Structure 1
Amino acid sequence: MKKLKMQELIFTGVYTAIYFLLVSIVMVVLKVAVPVFDSLLLPAASALFSGIIYLLMLQKVPRFGGISVMGGVFGLLFLVTGHFPMSFVPSFVCAILADFLQYNWKINEKIRTTVTYIIFSFGLTGPLLPMWFMKNAYVDSLIRRGKDADYINYVFEPITQIGFIICVVSVIVCSIAGIYIGRKLLAKHFQTKR
């Protein structure tokens, strides 16, 4: 039993590292391709390509904990890398909720996994949500960090009502597409039924 738990911990670390690497690559590509809207599109673009990682995590760590750790790592990164103080909350909440539902919600497995992946994917909206819902506090935190008005205007350019709708809808759509692609890849390369 101890060996199994150690293996699960190792798999969690490996898939968390792969997820981090993939999100980092997506972030760099978006910064070059769409510099103003990169942060707005990051959660959706990451969800599109991370479905396989999520499914592999479920396959190798079939119990509560793995999803929470994977999302929680990003929460910690947001906390220690100078993001707005509340930016870490969605990462933790979405990851723990997805983890809990994945192993306690008694519905069709494919539907459950798709829904939990959508929830998990919203964890990357952590740095964005305070910009819509706590704008004044966010601006004050940027000023305290020495950012000028031009930088603040640049950061808030895509933070509109339409931008919010685009962010939410794109995360849902790309999560569904990402989990679909992930299932196809698993069926082809890992011979799994998930």
Structure 2
Amino acid sequence: MKKLKVQDLISIGVYATVYFFTVFIATMLMRFTVPVFHSLLVPSMSALISGTIYLIVANKIPKFGAITIVGSVMAVFFFAFGYFPLAFLPSFLFPLLADFVQTKTKIADKSKIMLSYTIFSFGLTGPILPLWFMRDAYIDSLLAKGKDMTYVNSVFEGVSTASFFVSMILVVITSFVGLKIGQIIYNKHFAK
């Protein structure tokens, strides 16, 4: 089994920082263009623009642990900055599963990278899944942080059964498109 070396960890740190920055860009784009639904669309927008960085990590450091660490940078962020208590779990579990699919399975390469990237992209659903599945606990946590009901109502404004399915389906679609775009950029600038 190939293990991560110090040089790998340094590279992973750089790629994790770039990934964090792409998520930040996706968040800002959604916040200023789709005010009501912006938080529900951050995972899909991130999937759309993070394909290149995922391909770099998967191809340049093809060892178990690299994808997990890159995705887990968001778990650390969600945990450190007081997001809903369970928000960090998907940001660790989905990258771990994606890492397993990418490095430990014998699926055909093209299918494997697509499947692993789609799974990885669901890592950013941690902050939004409780909006549907733990509504009361989420409201209590917001109130405990001193938020008023006006703010709470604004958080839940776009939350419905339909928005759940739309946001999850969009993650699948945009991860496919984002990886295709990423492959073009990767092949042109990073493959050599």
Query: How many pairs align?
Result: 189
Letter in 1 for 2:96: I
Q: Deviations over 1:20-78 (max 9, x none)?
A: 11111121121111111111110000100100000001122110011111111111111
CA–CA distance in structure 2, aligned partners of residues 24 and 187 of structure 1: 25
Normalising by structure 2, report the TM-score.
0.95
Match for 2:191: what amino acid?
Q
Deviation digits for residues 109-132 of structure 1 (CA, Å, limit 9, x no counterpart): 010110010000000000000111
Q: Is the 8 A contact 1:90 1:122 kept in 2?
A: yes
Residue 156 of structure 1: aligned partner: 156
Amino acid at match of 1:10: I
Contact 1:8 / 1:60 at 8 angstroms: preserved in 2? no
Once residues 39 and 18 of structure 2 are traced to their aligned partners in structure 1, the CA distance between those partners, rounded to angstroms, is 20
* 2:181 equivalent in structure 1: 181
Contact in 2 for aligned 1:48/1:177 (Cα 8 Å): yes
Residue number in structure 1 paired with 2:34: 34
- C-alpha distance in structure 2 between counterparts of 1:26 and 1:146, whole Å: 27
Aligned residues of 2:52 and 2:179 also touching (Cα < 8 A)? yes
**RMSD of Structure 2 on Structure 1 (CA):** 1.1
What percent of counterpart residues are identical?
A: 47
What is the CA-CA distance between 1:190 and the residue it aligns to? 2.5
Residue 106 of structure 1 is matched in structure 2 by: 106
Q: Deviations over 1:73-124 (max 9, x none)?
A: 1111111111110001111110111001111111110101100100000000
Amino acid at match of 2:47: A
Letter in 2 for 1:15: Y
Rounded to whole Å, the distance in 2 between the matches of 1:45 and 1:29 is 8
TM-score, L = length of structure 1 = 0.94
Partner of 2:46: 46
Cα displacement (A) at 1:191: 3.5
Unaligned runs of 5+ in 1: none
Is 2:56–2:190's contact at 8 Å kept on the other side of the alignment? Answer: no
Secondary structure of the structure 2 residue equivalent to 1:85: coil
